[in-house]
Chains A and B, each alone.
Chain A
Amino acid sequence: MHARVLVMLALRNLRRHLRRTVLTAAAMIAGAVVMVFSFTLDDGSHEQWVDSGVRMGSGHVTVERPEYRVSRRIDDRLADDVRRAAEQALHSPELAPHVTALSARLGITGLASSAAGSRPAQIVAVDPAAEADFGTIDDQVAEGRYLEADDGLAACVGAGLAESLDLELGSRFVVQAQDAEREIAGQLLRVVGIFRSGLPAIDQMLIHVPLATAGEWLGSATDVTNVGVVLADSDATALVVDRLERALAEPVARGEVRVMGWEESDPTLATAIAVDALGNYIIQGFLLVIIAFGIVNTVLMSVMHRHREFGVLRALGLSPGQTGTIVLIEGLALAAASGLVGVGLGILIMWYFLGDGLDMATFMEGAEDLTFGGVQVDPVIVPIFGALRMVQITAFIVGVGCLSAVYPALRAMRIDVTEAMKFDR
């Protein structure tokens, strides 16, 4: 019975000082809207960075031999049965819905030479059709075209490397690398496309060649060094890694294969995102502290204003804890309502105005060429409205509202009843 009475008193007190209540709520609602704005764009940009990073790299999940990440040697190819088991698991009913693209690649280091000289190169042999779904190189071709299924001695070359070797469309050049027999083997290739990724490290090193061409050149047939997987949602990474590890339990136990999520295969990007997220949390933390001061001030004023009322309540039989509880309920009710309204309003505003994305190029010159954490940043940030994130923002606002009411509640609890009754007499 007491709880109902306390809730009734708290709610009526909020309604009694409607203007003060609305002003306090407005501050919290504004805070929630700002948090929705900030977190949805932050989550959107992180997802974009991850997507860009994994498509440029080895996917959200990669299956490869443990030594391969460091060695980049043809010796560290995946065993055929391991590759088949991995691909079978990825096509299973449980994992298939998460998988948007899959590319089996043979990636090695080698030397590219032309009449202009020689340069170290990262040679990646791919199935052109699968790679077009998986990566972004096909979208970044500046001259010519990307590889096609029936290409033979063709190569798509980074713009930086093409410039160094003085290569143009149709130019011929030679690549050399260690083959499957551990001999140095060379292959003549013709440039069919030149791509510009925006990342100098990629543009100056990377060459894409057809997997079939590499198989003949290096004597590796259809062998690959890794199977990369792009997922519909990066949040599914841990699940897919876990299921693949189970499917490949024996070779994993024997140390013949390793399944890695993007955070493990691309620690630079993972760290960059973690640092950015931390920065955002700190900024939001400051915002919450400012809001909290506003709430403390308002609720405290309200407590001081009702000094005598709290004295009366105590005289009528409420304990100090119960009078404090009234103030806490006021804070909780105000914060919960404001948090829900603020998050709802924030989602509506974001959806209506920025649902198609916020184009940073409008505000920032050179945003098109921006890179972060080793990936190229898309200047258009599309907000992501994750349910968990919305709950988190509501919880932040509610938490701040409740914490802000603690000190005023303690003041209400510590009221000297006899002094309070004299108050304003």
Chain B
Amino acid sequence: MAANDSAAVRTEGVWKTFHQEAEEVHAVRDVSLTVERGEFTALAGPSGSGKTTLLNLIGGLTRPSQGRVWVAGREVSEMSNQELARLRLEEVGFVFQAYNLLPVLTALENAEFPMLLQGVDPAERHARVGELFERTGMSGLEDRRPGKLSGGQQQRVAVVRAVASRPALVLADEPTANLDSTASEALLDVMGELNRDLGVTFVFATHDSRVMERSRRLVRMVDGAVAADERRA
């Protein structure tokens, strides 16, 4: 079946099975899902429901045991490691629960890092990150190393890093889990704005009710399968 090129993500009958000793554990069961470009989607569910694994499958960090995954019209399932790396660099931005900024780089260098790998012109890199830092309230903190930033600030740098290279989608795994409520609200405001103003596609894995409330589509997962898929106005 041909991929729907207008979709940011499409999965078709995806399974992910882990083998623990003699036992098979199905982390993701037969998930078929389409995320259109510009969506602000939350994958919600309790711990162990398979949301992070599904996010990893979409981002090409792990391969499906069965089924197919397309990102921006490109089939991920059969790609080589090299091709997957290229896909992540060009089409996917990641925001992690633990921020995961590179400690040897400044805030600015962290934010520019994917563009540095893409070979984007320095002036263009600075312009894009400068604008996003302005939007996210990070201006003036460009030269700080991650260790000198608060959790909220680090996560904002991580969001800028994920968005600045203009990927087809941003995958955010529990982005607010380590933040207090003020920092969480501020971060969600930033991501909402980026989605609304720049059309950035966000897919969250979360069990934070604030994220679920703000998402325009809520996919509930139970035991690795999609239990409900609600769209909101």
Contacts and interface: CB of A to CB of B under 8 A. Distances in A.
A319 B103 contact: no
Contact of B117 (A1, A13, A424): A1
B116 A317 contact: no
Nearest to A323: B85
Interface stretch (A51-59, A144-152, A308-316, A356-364): A308-316
Nearest to B178: A425
A121 B97 CA distance: 94
Nearest to A17: B104
Contacts of A425: 97-98
A309 B104 CA distance: 10
B61 interface: yes
8 contacts: A1-B119, A9-B102, A13-B104, A309-B102, A315-B96, A319-B86, A322-B85, A417-B62
Interface of A: 1-2, 5, 9, 12-13, 15-16, 308-309, 312-322, 417-418, 421, 424-425
Given A1-B116, A13-B104, A316 B97 contact: no
Given A315-B96, A317-B118, A318-B117, 4 more contacts: A9-B102, A317-B86, A417-B62, A425-B97
A316 B117 contact: yes
A16 B104 contact: yes
B102 A312 contact: yes
Interface string B136-172: 0000000000000000000000000100000000000
B175 interface: no
Given A317-B86, A318-B85, A425-B97, A418 B61 contact: yes
B81 interface: yes
A334 B126 CA distance: 32
A229 to B, nearest CB: 61
B222 interface: no
Contacts of B161: 316
A2 B104 contact: no
A315 B102 CA distance: 12
B88 A315 contact: yes
B89 interface: yes
B101 to A, nearest CB: 8
